[in-house]
Amino acid sequence: MTLSGPPETDVLVTADCWHATTSAKAVVMRAIAAAAAAVPVETSDAELAVMLTDDDGIRTLNRNWRGIDKPTNVLSFPALQPERKQPDDMPRMLGDIAIAYQTTQREAETDEKSFDHHLSHLAIHGFLHLIGYDHVTDGGAKEMEGLEREILAGLGIPDPYADEEWTLR
């Protein structure tokens, strides 16, 4: 079901460790485009930023915004939508996504996944949060996880949950 074009996506590398993988920006852009094409939400009129950071950077964000003083793999920060109609030539802000290199790499190695496949999954996960999906409830988690699986399959990426029993994340 293609209802939407991809949002304008800026990928910002803020940590030198990301230079170890030359494909990161392209992987993120491809994942966001695939996710946008799979959801019933119009995003072609929107923009978002993806920050590729390190564990220290994401730990600071996690501590400051969520009160959790440890690194994580991905964080999403949905933008507040303006109350008034914006000019037609002004893109709608979806928000920001931050992804940590070391945690992404460690998880990929632990789960014996390709780094690029895991990065794709995290970018898709972050994007889905920006457009309103969540995994706080069992139903929301099942819906979000199912959509992630569908999008990843469309990219030729194996099901990241195939070897897991379903649990609330």
The residue range of the domain holding 126 is: 8-81+89-154
CATH code, domain with 101: 3.40.390.30
The 3-state DSSP composition of the chain as helix, strand, coil percent (nearest 5) reads: 45, 15, 40
d(CA 143, CA 145): 6
| Residues above pLDDT 70, as percent of the chain | 88
List strand residue ranges (DSSP E) for the chain, in order: 8-13, 46-53, 74-78, 92-100
Q: Judge contact between 63 and 55, C-beta under 8 A.
A: no
Output the pLDDT for position 154.
Answer: 96
162 within some domain: no
- Counting the structural domains of the chain, the total is 1
Beta bridge partners of 92: 46
108 within some domain: yes
Output the pLDDT for position 45.
Answer: 86
159 within some domain: no
107 within some domain: yes
61 within some domain: yes
165 within some domain: no
d(CA 104, CA 122): 8
Q: In this predicted model, what pLDDT tens digit does every residue of 28-71 receive, in sequence order?
A: 999 999 999 999 888 888 999 999 999 999 999 999 999 999 99
30 within some domain: yes
29 within some domain: yes
How is residue 26 written in tokens? 């392209």
Q: Judge contact between 74 and 102, C-beta under 8 A.
A: no
| Residues above pLDDT 90, as percent of the chain | 71
Q: In this predicted model, what pLDDT tens digit does every residue of 62-101 receive, in sequence order?
A: 999 999 999 999 999 998 765 666 566 667 889 999 999 9
Output the pLDDT for position 58.
Answer: 97
- Between CA 97 and CA 104, with CA 99 as vertex, the angle to 5 degrees is 150
